[in-house]
A and B are shown apart, each in its own frame.
Chain A
Amino acid sequence: MTHDAASLEEDARWIRTIQSGDHEEREEAFRRLLVKYWRLIAVLTAQRIGDRREAEDITQEAFLRAFRSIHSLSKPMAFLGWLLKISRNLATDHLRSRRVSSPLDSIGDLPGGIEPDEPLEARDEKEHVLEAVAELPEKYREVITLKYIQGLDGKGMARLLDEPEGTVRNRLFRALEKLRAALERKRLRQP
């Protein structure tokens, strides 16, 4: 899915409907936003906490919190950035309460990550890439996931996150450099 100006305008329209529409219209708008961003938030959370089921519960909680206080959102186009912040905080609280030092041990166990009948080399490569992404600092992991799961470019990301385009592009460059370096290190360590 790509995010052009029309898609962003659509988000803003749904947010305005939630803020001022009648009960049925609001429910429909909630439903659409939930379906549109569910996977993105769930994937980001799963990468962070390493458990798909718990990630989906946290995702639901993040949507509930966002929807409950949506009236305080002054810029409807900044909805995703706001939702990401809520889910990030919830995941942090969850990790703190579970006292898990790192989610990386379980990233390879996430269902759907690796196909069991894939050739060994391809599986290794995917595992390395997923590990390298999981090892990235949060802000870099987020932009990489937005690019590949939500199909965004730097411009679309900047609009959705309500941040300057240059800042987001720089973050993407840094993420790319960090990934290249991490994968190079992993390849060198391989026998």
Chain B
Amino acid sequence: MSFDVAELLTLYEIVNFSFPERYEELIQEIAEKGSRLLGIRRLAIMVDEGGRLICLGKWGFRKGEDFAQRITDPGENGFVYTMSHGLRGLIFLEASARISGREKRLFNIFARRIEDVIALKQMESKIKESEREKKTILDSILELLIYQDAEHRIMWANTSAAKYAGKRSEELTGGLCYETLYRRKEPCAGCPVASALKTGVPQEGLVTPLEGKQFFVRGYPVKSQKGIIEGIVEVCFEVTERIQAEEAFRTIFNSVHDAIFIHEPEGKILDVNETMLRMYGIASKEEAVKLSIARDYSSPDSPLEQLREWWKKAVEGESPRFEWKARRPVDGTVFDAEVCLKKITFAGKEAILATVRDITARKREEELLRSIFGHSPIGMYIVSKGRFRLVNAQFEKLSGYSQEELIGREALSLVYPEDREAVRRNAVRMLKGMAAQPYDFRIITKHGEIKWVEETVASLQHEGQRVTLGNIMDITEKKRFAQKLEYVSLHDQLTGLYNRAYFEEQLKRLGKSNKYPISIIVADVNGLKLVNDTMGHQKGDKLLIACAQILKKALRPSDIVARVGGDEFVALLPRTDEATGSNILHQLRLSIERYNRKHPQLPLSVSFGIATAYNSEELLKQTYRRADDLMYREKLYLGTSARSKIVNALLAALSERDHLTEGHGRRLQHLCRILGEKMGLSRQQLANLSLLAQVHDIGKVGIPDRILFKKGPLTEEEWEIMRQHPEKGYRIALASPDLAGIADLILKHHEKWDGSGYPLGLKGEEIPIECRILAIADAFDAMTSDRPYRRAKTVEEALEEIRRCAGTQFDPKLVEIFLQVILTKEEVSKGQKVAN
């Protein structure tokens, strides 16, 4: 077998690969060598990856050309080489023409060489992959990882270190550790790397390479098989923040207002804060940690069993919070505390953190609040989920139920059923802050009494729940008063009818209503003033009440009757036409007549006016005015006759009351007439004198019986009333046309000659002659008549007395004449006969 040079060179070259970095370049090289040296026109390399053939590279196949098909069916110019008996994959080579035996051998050599290269490359990839993995792992470590030599020169650094230095990993290599990482000129003081180098064993410690920056550094010496230190692996991480955080924690630990104990789960105290020392009055931590929480820091009265339970819960991971009687070991004083236990990790171990809060002040406050709650004059309650949870004494009192009966009961059940919805609505509004004013409603007490209450509610946190605090006040009285006030403001006190204000309101309201036709009756009590003045207001009031009752009785419920003035009444009659109105008025008049028949001593006289409106408000006011006018017209028409009736009634009443005085009147009339005639009085004067003799005491109708008929002397006060009768008589007389002419005489009939009389204190002849005559005659008759309290004087005694009073009490001239007259016995006896 012989080879020429070219063939030898070919053989030599096909096994000579440059072993390129990337698979693409390897394929290029295979294509170059294959096409140039072996005339290969197509090739493909398939590798086995988990049982599947994956194309590592191909050449000479057009896009989309099915090369797999070509490999399966290589034909005469195709050559398939199986790598590791097919386990690694295959190599396909295609020549331009049928492959000769010689070519096949060359192809085989070529393919085997390719297989070697691929195997090498795969191994290389695996190594690279594992190196990459290692690098990824080291790079993923957050700590700074630096491999350095004895001179602190960096041989390798991970990404964290590079990131810290602000450079790429490769840039760190060769630099001095302290210079590259911390920009220092010399190694850090106390660097564990240096001591690890010296000692040959791992070292660690805190390093401050820069001001304000602290690092935790570990140095691990890396030794060769012979034990020579080749370098140091430095692992470091910044702990500035952690140290700052620890310092901050210490500050907080010591400055909180709660005492803090840190215990082992078994109970031994590990640490306490400064607040604890202050709170318990202990001098030092060393002393504090020696003592026992159960024995020394708890009051002997505290239930230690309970403490064990809580402790167990804390160890199991719960955070119990409870109140406790804490004890100061120094002096044994006890204070109220709130304790919270919590499991924590302390210095890498499980621990129990106990925070103790001095709640003495809070307890005091709670006590105060409880006392306020208990003694509040306001009914207070706490409701949660619609049911009473807590009530105070005042609430019990108010509702009539006991606390036991109320707790758990539905809050709204106490509310008057009709008011429940409003209460619910108002409460919700107030709880939402939409309303601030208290609202009122009715409750039904245990005893069935309905009470008005005023309530405010507020939302608050109670025992960890959101609850409603309610405050209620009993406003039943207030409410009643308000109702009364309302009644008063709209009603006339005396008659119980509506007042003027209400009437005017109704007039307006009706004016706008559709209750037309509306008739208005105006009624005015005649002679009220006379009655008031003479018989007193009580009588007048009686008259008004009588009038009101008659009106009320005669009118329909739909009619509105009001007292609009002292003696004036108005009735509004809705849906009443003129005819009906007149009919009603007629009935009214009949009622008054009936009344007067029953009460002749004080008859009721009323003037009426009626008018009807058919529409519009303006017309209604006019109608009222028209009715008023008509009433006045009737009053005018009735005029004096009405008053006379009253005066007559008064006289009747007077005579009925004082039967004695009636006889007295007649005797007096007789004596006066004689004297008058003697004095040459005119006929009119004599008539007046006669009348005066009869009615001069008409004013006495207003004097109460107890004064008028008093046995024994009158008091000054009684005299005062007594002395009013001339004026009252004067007013009565003025009201009566029959008596008006003698009104002045009635007024002056108690004047005395010397001016010591009353009411005007007239003197001498200022006193009308009729009065002077009456005075003498009256005194004589009085003295000569029996009185309940004394016997009658004799004529002589009487005359003597009159004589004695001449010039003081009586007109002396008249006394003279009177004496003459009286001394004529006949006259006297005549007079006595008359009297009998």
A binds B: no
Which residues in B have some Cβ–Cβ distance to A below 8 Å? none
